Amino acid sequence: MKNLTLINICLSFFALAVAQTPAPDQNKRILLYGGIAHLGNGEVIENSLIILEGGKILTIEDASNIRIDISDAEYHDVIGKHVYPGFILPNTTLGLADIDAVRATKDFDEVGEFNPHIRSIIAYNTDSPVIPTVRTNGVLIGQITPRGGMVSGTSSLVEFDAWNYEDALYKEDDAIHVNWPEKRISFVEHDHKKNHDDEYEKDLSEIKSFFNRAKSYVKSSGKKTDLALEAMKGVFTGSKQLFFHVRTVKGIKSAVLFAKKLNLDNFVLVGADDAWRVADFLAENEVPVVLNRIHRLPMRKNEDVDVAYKTPKILQDAGVLFCLDYEGDMERMGARNLPFTAGTSVAYGLSKEEALMSITLNAAKILKVDNSLGSLEEGKDATLIVSEGDALDVMSNNISLAFIRGKKLELNNHQIDLFNKYKKRHKEFSEEE
């Protein structure tokens, strides 16, 4: 037995050095007792009892007046700690690239303008060393999204704990992503999108004609197979969502009116920096928004310096369904800051629970997985985190437990390993002195 333990320790150490080992399926009832449960739907249970079974949330209720049987269960005392649904990261290239400056590690931008049939999930690297550094801050689900061209390709939803891309899949081919043509205004930031200034009219007519072709392709039968147009089918039958990446008022309105004209109602705006200017229009048309990283500068010189920080509050007040993403410079390694962007929106008007919704339930609603994810509710997936303190604030975000469908995750990463290694070395130095 002793030998076995030793072997186990060696094996797990080896595994840590390579990459985090995906957790085995939940085989035992798990009890979380006494935590401050932030449900993700705006409600809070100050003293909660949460029971996880078979990868689902079996029970979540006020623990004050309950006697529980903890035999045969893995028991966790989380008194005074904070429990949240796992944070959801939409519109990300996490796993599609490791190092920004090393081209060979990047696989999110295919050649060509119209690539709806390109499926990002194929390139998703479950062993990317960046992923474990993101989930240690509480981000457990991502929408792996291709970039580039006018129709970038098809995204998929994944869980951040898996052996391979099939194992990672949560919702396969959930949406097609379109970079809607728009004229640049005085953008001050670098932009991965094509500069459409010169070819704006041409691009607009090309993309419209592409959609028209797709629509008639879907209607007709007996035509030769066209993979690109075939991939568009789901958009018209409703099985896939359409994500319009767009920034300006003009672009937003033009994309929304175009989608309406095609009788589509399964579409979402991504980026939408100008959403605050047209909040009422978005609310009236019930258009959901994946808001571009709010830690950014204003797009125009005459805008308020804090315009991005306060956009969530403006959308909330107008009744727009929105969630937050982290697209832009350093978006993969920076994605671990997603909860802190939500926290920043609290300083600019949102309540803490509303801010939480923008990275949990609202994200799940927009990605159409809210029947199983996004909030701590009985029957939903046991995909949740426990933080020693408030997880939306930097100093107190300290994730001590994380589960994906009841599977308990290793909360380690390459960086923590290096920290421990050198902390020990430094300690030896100070002891010598």
Three-class SS state of 288: coil
Using the contact rule CB under 8 A, the part of the chain among 33-41, 155-163, 240-248, 329-337 near other proteins is: 329-337
Nearer to other proteins, 16 or 228 (CB): 16
State which amino acid sits at residue 255.
A
Of residues 209 and 415, the one with the C-beta less far from other proteins:
415
Helical packing angle, 200-219 and 249-261, nearest 10°:
20
Of 115 and 387, which CB lies nearer to other proteins in the complex structure?
Answer: 387
Of all helices (H) and strands (E), which one includes residue 291? Answer: strand 289-291
Q: Which is nearer to other proteins, 171 or 296 (CB)?
A: 296
By the 8 A CB rule, do 173 and 240 touch? Answer: yes
CB atoms within 10 A of CB 417: 13
x-marked contacts with other proteins along 172-191 as a string, rule CB under 8 A: --------------x-xx--
Tell me if 126 contacts other proteins by CB under 8 A. Answer: no
By the rule CB under 8 A, 422 interacts with other proteins: yes
Nearer to other proteins by C-beta: 55 or 334?
334
- Which listed range, 9-17, 214-222, 360-368, 395-403, lies at the site for other proteins (CB under 8 A)? 395-403
DSSP code string of 73-114:
EEEEE-TT-EEEEPEEEEEE-BTTBS-TT-GGGB-SB-SSSB
Q: Which of 1, 4, 17, 395 binds other proteins (CB under 8 A)?
A: 395
Note whether 411 and 417 are within 8 A (CB): no
Among 46, 75, 394, 400, the residue binding other proteins under the rule CB under 8 A is 394
Phi-psi region of 286 (alpha: psi -120 to 50; beta: other; left: phi over 0): left
Q: State in angstroms the smallest separation of the CB of 102 from other proteins.
A: 5
Of the candidate spans 95-103, 160-168, 231-239, 267-275, the one that interacts with other proteins by CB under 8 A turns out to be 95-103
- Residue of 153, 19, 160, 22 whose CA lies nearest to 88: 160
- State the helix-helix crossing angle for 200-219 and 227-237, rounded to 10 degrees: 80
Q: Is 224 in the site for other proteins (CB under 8 A)?
A: no
Positions that interact with other proteins (CB under 8 A): 98-102, 129-130, 186, 188-189, 295-297, 301-302, 304-305, 329-330, 332-334, 336-337, 340, 343-344, 346-348, 392-398, 415, 418-419, 422-423, 426, 429
